Amino acid sequence: MFLPFSWILGTSEWTLFNSNPIDCFFQGLVGACAISVLCSLMRVYYFLQTCSESETESKQRSSSPVNPLRGNWKTALQFWSLTLVLSLVGSRVSSIIVLEFSLRAVSSWASAGLDGRGLYLLLLQCQFSLGCCFTCALVFLHQGALHSSLNLFLAASISWALASVSHSLWSHVARLYPLHSTERYCGKCITLLTSGHTILTSLQRAVILAFAFATVASFSTVYDHFLSQKDSLKLWTPLTLCYTMLVVYIQEDQNRQTGAEALWHTAVLRLGALLVLMLTVGDWSDVLHVLISFLGEAACLLPSQDLLQAVSREEEETSLRKQEQISGHKKVKRKPSSDDS
């Protein structure tokens, strides 16, 4: 019989790692590389948007203290912190985090559509969940596989290469794009000048594909570890309904808030609800992994203040353009009436 509080009675084993620690490290490294690629390309996109608005602003930003070369130690600290956190978070909790974020993304799309501020905020909020996507997907793909450590090492090597290329691109753009885009003698900057506006769309498609595959892997993991026991659906059905209502509340509450307050409030609500869920149906290791996930969310959101400011600035500019268009339409409509009179 399914006992939701079996961990209180001490019937479950307490383990920090669900598998080989070396495999867990490689999985966490792949997840951290995915987060690094996402953040680097988003910074490139918003920098290009800023440069396209005003040449003066681009020169100011290129010489500003936001230059990534002055904060390499912070970037390295964030990267290895995320690697450690994702290595410690087990596939059970990672799968639930992926399913929770997928449910929230679908709810956002159904209620307000994934465009404008909602899309940008989702890309900011999905950082740690994206890392969990890769960890649980790798666990799903390598179940019972021979030479899984070698395969994970190859995956980590490819991910490291992609993250290094993305970070070097961001460093090159932040230092030299204002000069190279005007002189037009750099192949990277010329390519970004012509097709840089498609970066966010490509990121969106890649993130959707990653979550789509990870959702399938997460369903398999959740079924094997939580739903395969007898009478488990009797407990999970009301929990799922309550959690869906909580997701809708979080979405409505986020629309009323702005800036970093909305991101932190949403993250605390999400992980707090997952903590309650694991206290109900999980064991000691699941509860510990959810607590570790708080550190992962903080490691993703704290260094993303520049991205949040860029999102807020673009949102303000979009609203100003809409107001100007509305006022322009009103002026055009008023002219014929004055001529007729």
**Considering the domain boundaries, does residue 30 fall inside one?**
yes
Q: Give residue 147's domain range.
A: 21-340
User: What are the b/e assignments for 269-303, b being 16+ CB within 10 Å?
Assistant: bbbebbbebbbebbbebbbbbbebbbbbbebbbeb
Which of the residue ranges 118-132, 153-167, 214-228 has the most confident prediction, judged by mean pLDDT? 153-167
pLDDT at 291 over 80: yes
pLDDT at 216: 92
Q: How many CA atoms lie within 13 A of 302 on its CB side?
A: 13
pLDDT at 165: 94
**Considering the domain boundaries, does residue 6 fall inside one?**
no
**pLDDT class for 57, splitting at 50, 70, 90?**
very low
Domain count, the chain: 1
The more confident residue out of 117 and 285 is 285
- Averaged pLDDT score across all residues of the chain: 78
**Considering the domain boundaries, does residue 249 fall inside one?**
yes
pLDDT at 30: 96
**Considering the domain boundaries, does residue 13 fall inside one?**
no
Determine the distance from the C-alpha atom of residue 338 to the mean position of all C-alpha atoms in its chain, rounded to a whole number.
53
pLDDT at 163 over 90: yes
**Considering the domain boundaries, does residue 325 fall inside one?**
yes
pLDDT at 221 over 90: no
What integer is the mean pLDDT of 224-235?
68
pLDDT at 98 over 80: yes
Selection from 37, 141, 146 nearest residue 91 by Cα: 141
**Considering the domain boundaries, does residue 81 fall inside one?**
yes
**Considering the domain boundaries, does residue 117 fall inside one?**
yes
**Considering the domain boundaries, does residue 8 fall inside one?**
no
Q: Is the pTM of this model over 0.85?
A: no
pLDDT tens sequence across 34-53: 999 999 999 999 888 888 76
pLDDT at 209 over 50: yes
Which of the residue ranges 247-251, 284-288, 313-317 has the most confident prediction, judged by mean pLDDT? 284-288
Report the range of poorest mean pLDDT among 104-118, 196-210, 264-278. 104-118
